[in-house]
Amino acid sequence: MHPFVLERPRDLSAALSFGAQAGRNDAPVEYIAGGTDMVQLLQEYVRRPDRLVSLAGVLDDGIEIGSQGLRLGAAATMAEVATHQAVVERFPLISQALLNSASPQVRNQATMGGNLLQRTRCPYFRDVGYEACNKRAPGSGCAALDGENRWHAVLGTSDDCIAVHPSDLAVALVALDASVEIRGAGGDRSVPLSDLHRLPRDTPHLETVLEPGEVITAITVPANAAGLRSHYLKVRDRASFEFAVVAAAVAIEMDGARIRQARVALGGVGTKPWRLPNVEAALAGAEFEPAALRQAAALAAEGTQGRGHNDFKIELMQRAIVRAVEIAGARA
């Protein structure tokens, strides 16, 4: 592990002052909260900060539900949110996504903000023995393009990176039109979660729109997302503690035997959480029957690009959408 200084600021303002130094000099400064991903990255020499700033005790960990919707403090743990009665009852898609993530031990430690900012599980990124990784070493190439790419993305890729985004939670939140509250030296701002993560293009090392020193302070979900019939379907290689091969987050409103509105997002297939407005438009007003669902889900394939080993994901994600909509629609 690269040697670093651990800072324990007394409050968020002090933490931000440390973080702001990341933009003023060449000495890397990074934040750590629950640490479930960061510690692995430190141990694997993927991240080599000279200074690590702890956010323990300085971020909000509250869970609030009111007339405006749901507000989750960035320091709330995955376990706390997943089992919160009001979240389970009014925003079950979030609870389902969290319970399908990681392990109980990790969920007890990992924070909501950290989950959104976790790094890809691409083995070429995680193993510094591979020199070609534009996300880790800009300009070095992408070993996954012609390598073992079964786990990689088929949506939002570029010639510089095909690493898949790993968060289940982010997929559910994108489907529910969530936003993140961000604080930095320049003040507070709110960003739709769908805009938080960048497409790789030719700068895959820039993964989010966060400026140096900024932190996520809260996640908000609008009230109109409550009460929708929803389901989070995760296809993976084993039943627990595994990242998605394909995941579908679906929330629908029914009008008799027809779908009045639908929200659909995919995980495991995109370089960022992937919302599907074309599929949603096709589902709106459609009859709740298999042929109509399959026809709408087929639109998810638009713009996909397989790389050989991951070609199967293009068909699998369509089937996942259909199955998730069927399960959601059958809920009372």
- For 237-263, the DSSP string reads SSSSS---SEEEEEEEEEETTEEEEEE
Give the tens place of pLDDT for each residue, 100-136: 999 999 999 999 999 999 999 999 999 999 999 999 9
Identify the domain containing residue 22 by its residue range.
5-56
Question: With 90 as the cut, is the pLDDT of residue 142 above it?
Answer: yes
Burial label, 154 (beta-carbon count in 10 A; 0-12, 13-18, 19+): buried
Question: With 80 as the cut, is the pLDDT of residue 62 above it?
Answer: yes
In a domain, 249, yes or no: yes
In a domain, 30, yes or no: yes
Identify the domain boundary among 37, 56, 75: 56
Q: How far apart are CA 61 and CA 279, in angstroms?
A: 35
In a domain, 300, yes or no: yes
For the residues 294-321, what does the mean pLDDT come to?
98
Q: What confidence score (pLDDT) does residue 332 get?
A: 72
Q: Find out whether 30 and 49 touch, Cβ atoms under 8 Å.
A: yes
Percent share of the chain, pLDDT over 70: 98
CATH number of the domain bearing residue 277:
3.30.390.50
Confidence grade of residue 245 (pLDDT, cut at 50, 70, 90)? very high
Q: How many domains, in total, are found in the chain?
A: 2
Q: How far apart are CA 234 and CA 243, in angstroms?
A: 9
Question: With 80 as the cut, is the pLDDT of residue 30 above it?
Answer: yes
Which single residue is written with the structure tokens 């709110």? Answer: 190
C-alpha separations of 281 from 43, 48, 264 in Å: 45, 45, 10
In a domain, 47, yes or no: yes
In a domain, 260, yes or no: yes
Question: With 90 as the cut, is the pLDDT of residue 24 above it?
Answer: no
Give the tens place of pLDDT for each residue, 174-221: 999 999 999 998 999 999 999 999 999 999 999 999 998 999 999 999
Question: Token digits for 30?
Answer: 């990074």
Alpha-helical segments (H) within 176-240: 193-196
Q: What confidence score (pLDDT) does residue 21 get?
A: 78
Percent share of the chain, pLDDT over 90: 94
In a domain, 89, yes or no: no
Question: With 90 as the cut, is the pLDDT of residue 227 above it?
Answer: no
Q: What confidence score (pLDDT) does residue 27 get?
A: 57
For the residues 23-45, what does the mean pLDDT come to?
86
Question: With 90 as the cut, is the pLDDT of residue 244 above it?
Answer: yes
Element (H, E) at 106: helix 104-109
User: What phi, psi does 85 have (nearest 5°)?
Assistant: -55, -45
Sheet containing 258-267, strands listed edge to edge, beginning at the edge strand earlier in sequence: 229-235, 246-255, 258-267, 274-275
Q: What confidence score (pLDDT) does residue 22 get?
A: 65
Q: What confidence score (pLDDT) does residue 28 get?
A: 82
Q: What confidence score (pLDDT) does residue 19 get?
A: 85
* Helices (H) then strands (E): counts for the chain: 13, 12
Q: How far apart are CA 134 and CA 163, in angstroms?
A: 10
Burial label, 305 (beta-carbon count in 10 A; 0-12, 13-18, 19+): middle
Q: What is the pTM of this model?
A: 0.97
Question: With 90 as the cut, is the pLDDT of residue 272 above it?
Answer: yes
Question: Token digits for 145?
Answer: 């393009």
Confidence grade of residue 2 (pLDDT, cut at 50, 70, 90)? very high
**Average pLDDT score, the chain:** 96
Instruction: Please provide the size of the chain in residues.
Output: 332
Identify the domain boundary among 41, 56, 71: 56
CATH number of the domain bearing residue 15:
3.30.43.10
Q: What confidence score (pLDDT) does residue 37 get?
A: 98
Residue by residue, DSSP assigns 67-80 as: TTEEEEETTSBHHH
